[in-house]
Structure 1
Amino acid sequence: MTDIRWEDAFCGEGNNCFRIGTDTEGNGYIAVAGAEDRPLTDTREALRTLILDIKAGKADHLL
């Protein structure tokens, strides 16, 4: 199993919490807090792009 280093949980309104993690092989992970054993995974660059796009408001229509 890959050793993932998880960041502290981020909780939005309504306590929708998720965590972001990385491993030593350059992969990025995102998981619902408490379900870190079932993360989505991609490269760190893809995760970085996702976060920047969310911060830029490009995902607001999904909410």
Structure 2
Amino acid sequence: MSHITWEAPFCGEGNNCFRLGTDADGKAYIAVAGQEELAITDSHDALRTLILDIKAGKADHLL
């Protein structure tokens, strides 16, 4: 696995904290803080689309 540069954790009120990361190969990662070894990885574009869709409310039905 490439070296991942992790951002500071993002924590919602009363929720788990998540971290976003990137590596030198252009991959993006998302993981629960403290469980970075279990990160989900994809391209920057795919992660960007996921985040924008969540912000737009497209995942609200999952809550």
TM-score by length of 2: 0.92
Unaligned residue ranges in structure 2 (runs of 5+): none
TM-score by length of 1: 0.92
SS at match of 1:34: coil
- Give the Cα separation in 2 of the matches to 1:36 and 1:13: 20
4+ residue segments displaced more than 2 Å: none
How many correspondences in the alignment?
A: 63
Partner of 2:19: 19
SS at match of 2:36: coil
Task: Decide which moves more: 11-20 or 44-53.
Answer: 11-20
**Overall identity of the aligned pairs, in %:** 71
CA RMSD of aligned residues (A): 0.9
